[in-house]
């Protein structure tokens, strides 16, 4: 099977200006780039001057947390993006295992570390190691290419039984052994979710000891920051120090300018750039004004220090409840939308305003009620991001774009195509050490995107046409990716 794509402006993903050319695909790969006026391919597509770019790479993807990687790849998943959604946005590769939670390795065969996002009873776990997990995934039909990092909390929770304490010397030794084995089996790196309750108290020395193993195997270390608000600057500085002391490649995930803390964001951005010659640091940016957060993030800090059981008692205890209500942020109920609610799917898509009004509650009371009935497991979108500053930060050399609001990103890409396409193709591939993807080169896998007027027109995945004229073709051509 050969496909000839003619008359396109090729953006190679390496940052070079567009060039007018043709691209020939044979089987899974890019066979040739040039001019082929007389070539008789099985299928000829006239790009009519549109842009052709490498398939986009989402280096910070959480669809595995919601288990949509196990869903029908061609289905719509409501408020949580499905594999079909990613393809329609131009994303051909996603990297999971983010925020400290991954689907492997599982010491005791439990998906406990993702229970805040998904109904873990729905999946029959028949793997333990990364090698076994990837083998299981290869037996499934995938809509996108998928690779994974190793989640810090996933392993830590299994080692300690969920206890919030320092790891013993022996536990740390075991942890590093598990990391080494997982890297040898194909994991692309290691992640921490220092913003989540269960990981916020993790010591610097523990992270450093584990990240040293990550650096030894030349893997990526991706982390959510401990504090994205008042403590943003110190949180960024912590990650910079880890990078400088270990030499690891770092990705700061979900780096965003939360409204009300703009000065901290700008100073943190300056700090990252100031240290860019001493530390290999990038940050991922969603080009949007909304933030997807677990609902307990609205609680005051003094409440979030304890586990779910104590928090549940606190929000229902008459004296504490009134104090908590007074300290909740003043949010507009219409700007908070329920994206995910395990065991309570009927809530998905409803705004906090609708939820509260249906129960005769104020917005604050509605927030606490939502926490109560979902046991703090609801994920909501909240418009608290400065869109202007987000777009400005995307211009930064350290920025890597990720999967939300692809249309807005494509508007930017059409103004400066080579620069912005690099941020979502060649740069993340380079950061991950992903071979034969992320660039348009002869011999590379044919993951390609044609776009025009800020809209995805065609998508090719491993040489198959999976999106035609903006419509998903129900062709599942994704592959499991391994580092090595």
Q: What is the DSSP string of 398-440?
A: TEEE-SS-HHHHHHHHHHSHHHHHHTTTHHHHHHHT-TT-SS-
> For residue 447, is pLDDT > 90?
yes
- Separation CA 437–CA 448 (nearest Å): 10
Q: What single-letter DSSP state applies at residue 67?
A: T
Q: Is the peptide bond before 363 cis (omega within 30 degrees of 0)?
A: no
Residue 231: CA count within 13 A, CB half-sphere: 11
For residue 50, what are the CA distances in angstroms to 42, 185, 452?
21, 40, 5
Strands 336-340 and 379-382: antiparallel
Place of tokens 């940052």: 15
Residues 271 and 142 both lie in one domain? yes
Q: Which two tokens stand for residue 362?
A: 């104020």
- Separation CA 41–CA 24 (nearest Å): 8
Q: What is the pLDDT of residues 239-279, one digit of tens each?
A: 999 999 999 999 999 999 999 887 899 999 999 999 999 99
Residues 75 and 50 both lie in one domain? no
Q: Supply φ then ψ for residue 225, to 5 degrees.
A: -75, 150
The pLDDT confidence band at residue 70, using thresholds 50, 70 and 90, is confident
68-82, 160-174, 396-410: least confidently modelled range:
68-82
Q: What is the DSSP string of 74-136?
A: TS--TTS--HHHHHHTTEEEEEE--TT--S---TTS--GGGTTTS-GGGS-----SHHHHHHH
How many other CB atoms are there within 10 angstroms of residue 234's CB atom?
13
- CATH assignment of the domain containing 22: 2.30.40.10
Supply the pLDDT for residue 119: 86
Residue 202 lies in a domain: yes
Residue 426 lies in a domain: no
Residues 278 and 215 both lie in one domain? yes
Q: Which two tokens stand for residue 369?
A: 């009620």
Collapsing DSSP states into helix, strand and coil, what is residue 57? strand
Query: How many percent of the chain have pLDDT more than 90?
Result: 77
Q: What single-letter DSSP state applies at residue 372?
A: H
Supply the pLDDT for residue 78: 61
SS3 content of the chain, % helix, strand, coil (to 5): 35, 20, 40
Supply the pLDDT for residue 162: 81
Supply the pLDDT for residue 404: 67
Residue at which a domain ends, from 382, 413, 448: 382
Mean pLDDT (the chain) is 93
Supply the pLDDT for residue 411: 84
Supply the pLDDT for residue 79: 63
Residue 418 lies in a domain: no
Residue 192 lies in a domain: yes
Residues 224 and 343 both lie in one domain? no
Structural domain harbouring 305: 293-382
Supply the pLDDT for residue 301: 85
Residue 413 lies in a domain: no
Average pLDDT on 77-92 reads 85
């Amino acid at each position: 099977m050969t496909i000839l794509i003619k008359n396109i402006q090729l953006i190679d993903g390496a940052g070079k200006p567009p060039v007018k050319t043709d691209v020939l695909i044979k089987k899974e790969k890019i066979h040739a780039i040039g001019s082929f006026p007389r070539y008789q391919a099985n299928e000829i597509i006239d790009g009519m001057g549109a842009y052709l770019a490498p398939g986009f790479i989402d280096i910070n993807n959480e669809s595995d947390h919601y288990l949509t990687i196990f869903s029908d790849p061609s289905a719509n998943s409501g408020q949580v993006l499905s594999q079909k959604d990613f393809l329609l946005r131009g994303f051909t590769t996603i990297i999971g295992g983010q925020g400290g939670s991954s689907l492997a390795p599982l010491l005791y065969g439990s998906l406990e570390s993702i229970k805040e996002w998904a109904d873990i009873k729905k999946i029959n776990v028949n793997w333990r190691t990364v090698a076994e997990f990837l083998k299981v995934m290869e037996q499934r039909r995938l809509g996108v290419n998928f690779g994974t990092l190793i989640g810090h909390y996933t392993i830590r929770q299994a080692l300690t039984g969920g206890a919030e304490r320092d790891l013993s010397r022996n536990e740390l030794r075991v942890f590093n052994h598990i990391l080494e084995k997982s890297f040898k089996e194909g994991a692309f790196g290691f992640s921490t979710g220092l913003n989540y309750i269960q990981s916020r108290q993790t010591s610097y020395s523990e992270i450093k000891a584990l990240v040293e193993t990550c650096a030894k195997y030349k893997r990526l270390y991706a982390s959510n920051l401990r504090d994205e608000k008042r403590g943003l600057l110190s949180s960024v500085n912590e990650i910079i120090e880890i990078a400088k002391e270990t030499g690891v490649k770092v990705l700061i995930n979900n780096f965003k300018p939360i409204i009300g803390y703009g000065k901290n964001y700008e100073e943190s951005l300056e700090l990252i750039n100031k240290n860019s010659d001493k530390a290999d640091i990038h940050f991922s940016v969603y080009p949007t004004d909304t933030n997807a957060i677990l609902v307990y993030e609205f609680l005051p800090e003094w409440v979030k220090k304890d586990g779910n059981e104590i928090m549940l008692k606190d929000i229902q205890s008459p004296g504490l409840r009134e104090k908590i209500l007074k300290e909740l942020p003043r949010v507009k109920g219409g700007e908070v939308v329920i994206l995910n609610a395990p065991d309570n799917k009927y809530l998905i898509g409803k705004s906090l305003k609708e939820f509260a009004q249906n129960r005769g509650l104020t917005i604050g009371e509605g927030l606490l009620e939502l926490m109560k009935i979902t046991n703090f497991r609801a994920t909501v979108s909240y418009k608290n991001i400065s869109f202007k500053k987000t777009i400005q930060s995307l211009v930064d050399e350290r920025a890597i774009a990720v999967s939300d609001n692809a249309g807005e990103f494509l508007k930017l890409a059409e103004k400066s195509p080579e620069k912005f396409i690099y941020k979502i193709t060649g740069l993340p591939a380079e950061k991950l050490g992903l071979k034969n993807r992320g660039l348009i080169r002869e011999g590379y896998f044919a993951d390609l995107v044609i776009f025009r007027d800020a809209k995805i027109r065609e998508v090719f995945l491993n040489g198959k046409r999976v999106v035609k004229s903006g419509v998903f073709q129900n062709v599942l051509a994704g592959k499991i990716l391994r580092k090595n």
